[in-house]
Amino acid sequence: MNETLVNVFLHHLEALGATWELADNPIAARLTLLHYLNALNRKDILAWEPEALSLPGLPEALADIGLTLTPTHRRNLNPELLVGVTSADAGLADTGSLVLHLAQGQSWLPALVTLHHVALLPASRLFPDMTTWRRAWMATRPGDLASSIIITGPSSADDIELHPHRGMFGPGRQHVILFYD
Amino acid sequence: MTVADSQTRFMFHRMGSLTTAAREKAWARVPEADALKARAVRARDRVLTDLSAYLDRLEEAARGNGVTVMRAAGAQEANRQIIETLRKLGATETLRNHHPLLDEIKLDDAAKANAVRLTPLHLGDFLAQLTGEHSGHPIWPVGHLTVEAISEALQEKWRVPKTYDPDHLTSTVRMRLRRLLLRADAAVLGVNFAVADGGVFALLDNDGHNASLVSLVRHGILILSVDQIVADMADLETLTRVFALSAWGRSRPAYITHLQKATPQGVDGPRTLHLILVDNRRSEIIDQGFGEALRCIHCGACHTTCPVYQQIGGAGYAHSPYTGPIGTVLNPLLLTPELGEPQAYLCDGAGLCAATCPLNIDFSRLHLEHRQRLVNAGRAGDDRRFFALWRRFLGMKRLFIPYWRRATRPPDEVR
């Protein structure tokens, strides 16, 4: 993995007001996530299906410390679910963006309706920019442009006197755990 | 046309200064800025010079993706199609996003007249509706209102405790809008750009209201102004970057939502997608030789530098959603002659709009063209009161001093 790419991505994330941690492997990433969620002191966490999170053994490890991942079901959203955990289909280094496709088990809601979004990103899914990522995507899925969101930093609204307010509809806090896979 | 009160003028000027500074700083960080702008102009002109072919391509791609496609020649037809579609779908709670086209066709009024529950989800639009204010800017509809005015409106309507803290006020409105979002079953979505190759629809924002709507509602009705078609994904990326830089001073919007087709059971996103392609005089505008005005992507950059806009505010443009310099070019073409024609004179020739526009629209040429046509038709200069007021306005030299200073500042100081 290109270290420069990782550094550029993390630099842009920081500039956007997001926070990040870098893990050496998926097991270290799992531990990092457990620490992070434990510190937030939330019991129920809105999340993607465990198999889509790219971290094997995560539900069991979370259960050991009394945390549960709640799958997203439209209209059954508990407003108390303040933390959302997702993976990402791609990270774009030039802007610190995360790409999330719409797919089975990969709801956008943990990255949208929560106040705090934690994203797990394998380093192999890091691309220099949008063009490179799209080329790679089209090479494997020609013709399918995919419905996707590209998230660049936390949600913000500045409609009142242009005062920046973090977390309008999307989360006001974004934390990325980037790990080598 | 009247000069706004001093408080409103101050707020428009403040908005202009803040957003101009952010935009200039962001563009200064783009090493290939000129090349990017040139690519954006080519992307717009490519489509505008062959609009009907791109429209057919988009329609074919969208139908191929299972989207129901309708065409509307005008605002009335578009509204009828939206209301009928909502009725057919049995939607009881509908939300709409922030988009000038929805204001142009006066969708809110049509929904009210037809007893359809339709609420704007965007904070600025919601506050504009709540306060009864006309949207003053394409990006910040109530950017000219003071926090005190917004607080008082909320106290009066919702009996919330008095506070002048913008964060607190935003959170108060957010909670209400979020509840609406969780129970809405349909969304009317004005589309920023649509890609002819593949039929992808792009929605851009920083607060996440578009992505939230797309995720949560069962039925999506996409409303597209036909001039906002782009040829392919590369052009979409170019225009998205240009929009983000010029509108918000960011390299990319916080949320870019790309939607291509309805989603199956078990996946977020609308189960049905409907597309209404709205012409509303766009084809005529091209035929009349004003196609260059349609390059506009409604980033609002021209507004924030315009001396006239900052003195008369958004309400000075005949209640059109197109205010500022782009309003003076589009409104004579979109509104009735009585309302639209005088707008061609809302320009003092400073030329800052053209210098700021990332799509290189030649506003001066378009203004002169409009005025020439009015002279040729014998309709210019018959409103003595208008010109008397205009002379008085131009005589208020004090108002223009900050703009002259800004315009004559060396480029190094700007950065």
What are the b/e assignments for B93-105, b being 16+ CB within 10 Å? bbbbbbbbbbbbb
Output the CA–CA distances (angstroms, integers) from residue B16 to B312, B317, B363, in the order listed: 13, 17, 19
- Distance, in Å, from the CA atom of B340 to the CA atom of B288, rounded to the nearest integer, reads 16
Rounded Cα–Cα distance for residues B47 and B53 (Å): 8
Per residue in B206-253, pLDDT (tens digit) is: 999 999 999 999 999 999 999 999 999 999 999 999 999 999 999 999
Distance CA A168, CA A170 (A): 6
Helices (H), B288-342: 301-305, 307-312, 324-334, 337-340
Residue A27 has pLDDT above 80, yes or no: yes
Cβ distance B237 to A130 less than 8 Å, yes or no, reads yes
Domain membership of residue A160 as a residue range: 3-179
CB spacing of A102 vs B207 below 8 angstroms: no
Chain A residues close to B259, C-beta within 8 Å:
147
**B304 CB contacts (<8 Å, ≥6 apart)?**
B15, B16, B19, B20, B23, B356
pTM: 0.91
A11 in reach of chain B (CB within 8 A) = no
Tally: H helices and E strands in chain A: 4, 12
Task: Provide the pLDDT for residue B179.
Answer: 86
The CATH number covering residue A174 comes to 3.40.50.10420
Please give, rounded to a whole number of angstroms, the shortest distance from the CA of A34 to a CA of chain B: 27
Whether B178 contacts chain A with CB within 8 A: yes
- Rounded Cα gap, residues B372 and B378, in angstroms: 10
Which of helix, strand or coil describes residue B87?
helix
Nearest-CA residue of chain A relative to B261?
A147
- Decide: A52 and A105 in contact? Cβ < 8 Å: yes
Q: How far apart are CA B16 and CA A170, in angstroms?
A: 27
The CA distance from B290 to B298, in Å, is 16
Helices (H), B50-165: 51-64, 75-89, 100-104, 107-113, 123-131, 147-158
Query: What pLDDT is stored for residue B206 in this prediction?
Result: 96
Do A82 and A138 contact (CB within 8 A), yes or no?
A: no
Please give the structure tokens belonging to residue B341: 């024609």
Residue written as tokens 């610190």? A96
Amino acid B414: pLDDT: 47
With CB atoms and an 8 Å threshold, state whether A161 touches B147: yes
Residue B187: what pLDDT? Answer: 98
**How far does Cα A140 stand from its chain's mean position?**
23
The whole-number average pLDDT for the span A32-51 is: 87
Angle in degrees, CA B86, B202, B39, rounded to 5:
145
State the amino acid at position A17 in one-letter form: G
Give the list of residues 6+ apart from residue B203 with CB closer than 8 angstroms, or none: B97, B189, B191, B192, B210, B211, B214, B255, B256, B257, B259
- B interface test, pick of A134, A169, A173 with most B CB neighbours within 10 Å: A169
A141 pLDDT tier (thresholds 50, 70, 90): confident
Interface of A with B in 101-130 (CB under 8 A): 102-104, 107-109, 112-113, 130
Residue B312 corresponds to which tokens in the numbers above?
């008369």
Are the beta carbons of B182 and A81 closer than 8 angstroms? no
In this complex, the residue of B122, B146, B206 whose CB is nearest that of residue A155 is B206
Considering its fold, how many domains does chain A have in total?
1
pLDDT at B303: 93
Q: What SS3 state is found at B56?
A: helix
Q: Which residues of chain B have pLDDT under 70?
A: 1-3, 381-390, 397, 403-404, 406-415
Q: Could A157 and B177 be called an inter-chain contact, meaning their C-beta atoms sit closer than 8 Å?
A: no
- For residues A42 and A135, the model is more confident at A135
Among B96, B185, B192, B212, the residue to mutate for chain A (most A Cβ within 10 A):
B212
- CA distances B146 to B12, B21, B233, Å, are 11, 20, 40
- Three-class SS state of B97: coil
Is A157 in Cβ contact with B253 (below 8 Å)? no
- Chosen from B98, B170, B230, B303 to mutate, greatest number of chain A CBs within 10 A: B170
pLDDT at A23 over 70: yes
